[in-house]
Chains A and B, each alone.
Chain A
């Protein structure tokens, strides 16, 4: 099964346009998606059908038979899509960043496990400072 990470990394411009149409309209058959896609030249039915099939295989669309044709609907909302793209991008970024060659400067280490006693000691220090108005 394809992961969303794959989808996030390889979504092309036509795929994004098709997703936008389905997010706006909900469930649509291939012909209806063709009608909603604006721009010239008009896209071929088979091109749109292939794109929808690809998005289905990437896990971004669900589909069900309606007579002889498939009706497609988004498998996730636009916000969920953006959220997952962000997370897949950050995962890729972190994976590339190594101890020898860090490619980002983080405020704190996102993967760090913290010694609870140490945290409590530091929190007590902060509270003490705040009491003294600093």
Chain B
């Protein structure tokens, strides 16, 4: 039976590996930021996504491999724990005495509570947002599939709702745009919907909780900006001219700030606008194919890492024991 101390030990292992990989991947993201920018929005988005998602995923894999190694060793009658009582044991059956001390349990309980509250609050916010999106849909006039025009003097155009997302545009924003600009706004928002960006952002936010705080937040900002640029490219594909999409962005930025929203509430902060417009006008390539290549490369690297940790489970096990204890 798995002991409480073993759970604490493997929990620490999971967090340690996740933070270490987060440091490594986000460091690479920072070092290669200019190269990634040159490769286009798709590649930047893919790289930021990987820097956020891979650390917890690979950490789960490594933790699972080491737990399995411990279980298999015990089943084979090779209980190595008796041989080294001097430091922490990564063992599903035994553990070092300090792991069941009140301070160790309190630390783990605090970390788990933080994550539960963090995830719970995020889930509540999304439930509320879905209700709001449903209500706005019922109050609006359909413009196209999933798109609704709602009466308001405030200017807004956004996509909201995880379960049944809707694109909501105010009559005031609609009136401020030319027909081509309207098409650009709809295409941009529908691209968010098609890419599942709200789901992705919600999951990436949770993954970021398991990364190095400042670096993970930076990767999230990069993902948000590159996602906006990816959707801008989709809008260009729909309306034909980058300048139309750029002028739609500026047309809505030209309006007086809305009293409805606190700054930074959506993932299209004001600071993104100059970069988005410049990116559109410079006609930077989207780099979709390169992004797929990068995704395949990262998948292969992850599989190799998983394979290596399985093959070298025994020395890896002892390495982590030494590092942790």
Q: Which chain A residues have a beta carbon within 8 Å of chain B's beta carbons?
A: 79, 82-83, 85-87, 89-114, 118-119, 122-123, 125-126, 129-130, 134
A81, chain B: closest CB distance, angstroms: 10
Residues of B238-288 contacting chain A, CB below 8 A? 241-243, 246-250, 252-254, 257-258, 260-270, 272-274, 277-278, 281, 283
- Nearest-neighbor residue (CB-CB) of B188 within chain A: A107
- Report if B136 contacts A (CB, 8 A): yes
Docked-complex contact B260 and A119, CB < 8 angstroms: no
Docked-complex contact A102 and B270, CB < 8 angstroms: no
Measured between beta carbons, the chain B residues less than 8 angstroms from A85 are 135, 139
- Report if B82 contacts A (CB, 8 A): no
A101-B121 contact, Cβ under 8 Å, with A87-B154, A112-B269, A126-B243: yes
A82-B151 contact, Cβ under 8 Å, with A103-B128, A106-B157, A122-B250: yes
A13 CA / B67 CA spacing, docked (Å): 56
Docked-complex contact A99 and B264, CB < 8 angstroms: yes
Docked-complex contact A112 and B243, CB < 8 angstroms: no
Docked-complex contact B260 and A112, CB < 8 angstroms: no
Q: Which of B26-34, B89-97, B198-206, B306-314 contacts A (4 or more CB under 8 A)?
A: B198-206
A115, chain B: closest CB distance, angstroms: 9
Docked-complex contact B242 and A129, CB < 8 angstroms: yes
Docked-complex contact B252 and A107, CB < 8 angstroms: yes
Please provide the 5 A-B residue pairs with the shortest distance between their CB atoms, ordered closest to farther: A112-B270, A106-B266, A103-B129, A94-B261, A110-B258
A104 CA / B125 CA spacing, docked (Å): 10
A122-B125 contact, Cβ under 8 Å, with A86-B136, A92-B132, A112-B253: no
Docked-complex contact B253 and A114, CB < 8 angstroms: yes
- Nearest-neighbor residue (CB-CB) of A108 within chain B: B252
Docked-complex contact A109 and B125, CB < 8 angstroms: no
Residues of B194-232 contacting chain A, CB below 8 A? 197-198, 201-202, 205, 224, 227
A108 CA / B152 CA spacing, docked (Å): 16
- Report if B156 contacts A (CB, 8 A): yes
A90-B266 contact, Cβ under 8 Å, with A107-B158, A112-B253, A126-B277: no
Docked-complex contact A107 and B125, CB < 8 angstroms: no
Identify which of A96, A105, A130 contacts B189 (C-beta below 8 A).
Answer: A105
Interface 0/1 of B171-211, CB less than 8 Å to A? 00000000000000100110010000110011001000000
- Nearest-neighbor residue (CB-CB) of A131 within chain B: B243
Docked-complex contact B281 and A106, CB < 8 angstroms: no
Identify which of A86, A91, A106, A123 contacts B268 (C-beta below 8 A).
Answer: A106
Docked-complex contact A103 and B281, CB < 8 angstroms: no
Identify which of B136, B153, B188, B257 contacts A111 (C-beta below 8 A).
Answer: B257
Known: A97-B265, A105-B160. 11 other contacts (CB 8 A): A79-B151, A83-B152, A89-B139, A91-B261, A92-B132, A102-B201, A103-B125, A109-B270, A111-B263, A130-B243, A134-B242
Identify which of A89, A95, A126, A134 contacts B250 (C-beta below 8 A).
Answer: A126
